[in-house]
């Protein structure tokens, strides 16, 4: 697509995008996290901004520079990410791309946990993190368009469809993240769009191209 100044179908719209992993502390020096480069989420934030949207990007720790023309909020933990997202409601569009850690350590240690010779490794008690997409999807101030991702290693369609319903999303961008696909951390993505209207398979595209197409799709869905 060519982005002329005239082609700004999202002008006047606000969008919230999450991207990257979250880091859940075990102690001051250790954490639990998902694999995520943030490339896809950051590209989506930039693509929405290019179409004229006023974008807030809530990003976990990533090794990427902040995209131009996007308001970026940097967070570490899932609870911080949830709070930052809710603080930016109401919005017209929510695209939750972050690979949020599903669990955090129930009570992280204030001091570095030291190895205890003879006592064996510490046992970590985990607790579930808030589901940010589901919170937004079922919120009283729900954005008009709520988009989620589904990272799957099998049964992409069925799992994606279940997430669409469970989380109250309008659209799920599902992808196969099996290690052999090379999607994790790579430049390419191969996605399937799942909505209540049906499914759509996109060819293998760069993450930037997926972002552009998705932004166009979002603009079309908002009308």
Comparing CB distances to Ca ion, the nearer of 92 and 102 is 102
Q: Select from Ca ion, ligand CTP, none the partner in contact with residue 131, using the beta carbon and a kind-dependent cut-off of 5 to 8 Å.
A: ligand CTP
What is the C-alpha to C-alpha distance for residues 184 and 47, in angstroms, rounded to an integer? 20
Return the range that interacts with Ca ion (CB under 5 A); candidates 62-70, 102-110, 119-127, 205-213: 102-110
* Smallest separation (angstroms) from ligand CTP to the CB of 99: 7
Residue 205 to residues 91, 94, 221, Cα–Cα distance (Å): 28, 22, 21
User: What b/e string do you get for 170-202 counting C-beta neighbours within 10 Å, with b at 16 or more?
Assistant: bbbbbbbbeeeeebeeeeebebbbbbeeeeeeb
Site for ligand CTP in 164-223 (CB under 6 A): none
Position 130 contacts Ca ion (CB under 5 A):
no
Tell me if residue 129 is catalytic.
no
Candidate residues 78, 191, 210, 218; the one interacting with ligand CTP per rule CB under 6 A: 78
Looking only at residues 124 through 143 of this chain, which bind ligand CTP when binding is defined by CB under 6 A? 129, 131-133
Q: Least separation, in Å, of the C-beta of 189 and ligand CTP?
A: 14
Q: Binds 163, which of Ca ion, ligand CTP, none (CB < 5 to 8 A, cut-off by type)? A: ligand CTP
In DSSP notation, 11-63 reads TT-EEEEEESB-EEEEETTEEEE----SHHHHHHHHHHHHTT-EEEEEE-S-S
3 state DSSP class of 86: helix
Annotated binding site for CTP: 102, 112, 130-133, 149, 163, 167
Q: Catalytic amino acids? A: 34
């Amino acid at each position: 697509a060519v982005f002329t100044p005239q082609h700004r179908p999202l002008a006047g719209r606000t969008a919230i995008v999450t991207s990257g992993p979250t880091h859940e502390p075990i102690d001051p020096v250790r954490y639990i996290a998902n694999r995520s480069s943030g490339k896809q989420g950051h590209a989506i934030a930039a693509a929405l901004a290019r179409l004229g949207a006023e974008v807030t990007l809530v990003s976990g720790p990533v090794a990427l520079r902040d995209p131009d023309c996007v308001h970026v909020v940097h967070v570490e933990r899932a609870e911080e990410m949830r709070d930052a997202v809710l603080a930016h409601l109401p919005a017209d569009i929510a695209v939750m791309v972050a690979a949020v850690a599903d669990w955090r350590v129930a009570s992280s240690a204030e001091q570095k946990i030291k190895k205890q010779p003879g006592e064996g490794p510490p046992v970590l008690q985990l607790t579930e993190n808030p589901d940010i997409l589901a919170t937004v999807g079922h919120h009283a101030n729900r954005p008009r368009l709520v988009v989620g991702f589904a990272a799957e290693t099998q049964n992409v369609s069925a799992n994606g469809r279940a997430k669409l319903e469970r989380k109250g999303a309008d659209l799920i961008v599902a992808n196969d993240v099996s290690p052999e696909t090379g999607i994790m951390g790579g430049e390419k993505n191969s996605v399937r769009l799942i909505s209540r209207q049906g499914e759509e398979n996109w060819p293998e595209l760069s993450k930037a191209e997926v972002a552009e197409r998705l932004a166009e799709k979002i603009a079309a869905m908002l009308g």
